[in-house]
Amino acid sequence: MQATWTHRTVLLNEAIAALQVNPDGHYIDATFGRGGHSRLLLSKLSALGRLTAFDKDLDAIAEAKTIVDPRFSIRHEGFMHLGQLPAASAAGVLMDLGVSSPQIDNPVRGFSFRQEGPLDMRMDTTRGQSVAEWLADASIESMAEVIRDYGEERFAGQIAKAIDRRRQERGPLGTTAELAEVVAGAVKTREPGKDPATRTFQALRIFINAELEELQQALEASLKVLQPGGRLVVISFHSLEDRIVKQFIATHSREVFDRRAPFAAPKAMKLNALGRTKPSEEEVASNPRSRSAVMRVAERTGVLE
């Protein structure tokens, strides 16, 4: 029997409420995942409404195909491609940046250090290098940089050297358990309750999927596709993502003056920042994976250039 893994959508009602859904509008679920947000959003739309979803994960695409609804379409590509949609065509863009529970819990995907599986971590398993392939040839310096910059890991240098020693003594790493063991031997102290491999696995996942670069591109694309008054809703799960979202909204929520032309009119702001939301105590208690989530909301102004 094939195993099944459940997923609980974080900030489900809050995110859809933040979109202020126009029943006749066109919406974009930029990260379909297992479809929790999409299904609730569809329930708010009229026969004239439309929902376009994006996802790189083949399992997510398979899940999306269970939604038989003429108002819904799914695109098998990353959300940086949402800029291919017509300009000012969307009443709202939703981005849930979390890794879904089925991705984490299925050992075959290689995201989890708690279960042994192939060291893969690709969101789209049809293209690109796996983590195992990258670690087989990466220099100590490159590994340390990735683990430090994307995992905010202070033992990045020691971990990179430990991986290199392991490669020389026993060959390339091939499983999540092997990597977790190497990291545990290199990380001597860790916060109570946190596995020593947490930051390293996060770093390698972010790097191998170019998650931060794609997020930046998707945010920029959202300015093009959102119509005036349209809402941008982004749920992030770690500080690196949230920092990018926060800075993006802040940058476009203020007038920009050109110091070289002090008497010229400033460039008008493209977004109105509408604040942030954290999961309730009840949600965190029932779904501990939601504890780090932060939702930021902004509204598109009428400035289209």
- Binding-site annotation, residues for S-adenosyl-L-methionine: 35-37, 55, 79, 96, 103
Q: Of the candidates 137, 136, 161, 165, which has an alpha carbon nearest to the alpha carbon of residue 147? A: 161
- For the chain, the C-alpha Rg in angstroms (whole number) is 21
DSSP characters for the chain? ---------TTHHHHHHHHT--TT-EEEES--TTSHHHHHHHHH--TT-EEEEEE--HHHHHHHTT---TTEEEEEB-GGGGGGSPTT-EEEEEEE-SPPHHHHH-GGG---SSS--BS---SSTTSS--HHHHHHH--HHHHHHHHHHHH--TTHHHHHHHHHHHHHHH-S--BHHHHHHHHHHH-----TT--TTHHHHHHHHHHHTTHHHHHHHHHHHHHHHEEEEEEEEEEE-SHHHHHHHHHHHHHTTS-B--TTSTTSPPBPPSEEEEEEE---HHHHHH-GGGTT-EEEEEEE-S---
Binding positions: 35-37, 55, 79, 96, 103
